[in-house]
Amino acid sequence: MTTNSFSKPYNAQNVTDYPNNNTYFLVWNFKENADPAKIKSAFQGICALVINLNNSALDRFPDSKASCVMGIGYDAWLQLSLPQPLPKELKRFEPITGSKHTAVSTKGDLHFHIRADNKSLAYDMSSTISEFMSPVADCVVEVQGFRYWDSRSILGFVDGTENPHGADREHFAIVGDDDLSYRGGSYLFVQQYIHNLNAWKSLSVEEQEKIIGRSKDQDIEMSDEVKPKNSHIALANVGDDFKVVRDNMPFGNVGSNEMGTYFICYASTFSTVEKMLNNMFIGNPAGNYDRILDFSTAKTGSLFFAPSLDMLDEFGG
């Protein structure tokens, strides 16, 4: 087991919580014509609101495992004149273009990750945030995620098997003493994937397993001798020293057959996420891209920083 280096206690947001049954993912962008003073005031208010929502949920529904995590994008950080220098690895996410597939970059000023066992509670938290944000910002992504069986993606395979557990979750998800100004924070990266389910379902289970690198029913990883070099497991896992905390959730509409996965991860260093994305989209070696991308298209890609609760409290005035 590895442990992070923290010189004193910190107060992180709920970035290491485990996936819940009901999730809302919201991305908001500030309106271009909005009064800067009103944007600043709204931001201060939303920071205080996020803290209040978490405290209220804990007091009123202590067993609901409800939480709201807020992340701030690079452009918003500058626009709001937040502390300088910025978190070491916070930047505009640049597209990663391989020979066939691209990890696109999309603008995101604020990201809200809302979790609760009770769907009503998740809805109410999301609705409260939306009412607060609407005067100064536009919601550009709203995804309602749900738990599918034993934490499987809609493709039918268990998602997040490589997630760290115990103290390792803090080590890999939360910034430590290597960036003292932002210790207790976390790099938050998201992508909204749409799956080609018709093409996926046309494959045999054996073909699907080779693309993922695991057995479908029992979730057992193939040996290195058997696992294809372009399987998802072979390329997305970049070593035991480079992990992130994933909280992916399925979403979509059955009638239109537009189903997908909202990929979300928290990391102590964004460079770890970049290693994964480069392996998947460019390939290792180049051209040996992640075969799952032939069935899953990234429609969004945004990087945020989730400050500690202490820093959010400061931002809230």
Task: Please list the alpha-helical segments (H only) found in the chain.
Answer: 36-60, 74-79, 119-133, 167-173, 197-201, 205-212, 232-236, 270-281, 309-315
Q: Which of 124, 138, 150, 159 is labelled catalytic?
A: 159
Instruction: Kindly state the tokens that stand for 296.
Output: 């899953």
β partners of residue 266: 188, 245
Instruction: Name the token pair of 136.
Output: 């100064």
CA 115/CA 94 separation, integer angstroms:
28
Cα torsion through 13, 18, 20, 25, rounded to 10: 50
Name residue 178's amino acid. D
Contact present, 90 and 274 (Cβ < 8 Å): no
Distance CA(151)–CA(183), nearest Å, equals: 30
Residue 180 DSSP SS3: helix
Q: How many Å apart are CA 111 and CA 71, to the nearest integer?
A: 5
Catalytic site includes residue 159: yes
Considering all CA atoms of the chain, what is the largest pairwise distance in Å, rounded to the nearest integer? 60
Q: Indicate which residues carry an active-site annotation.
A: 159
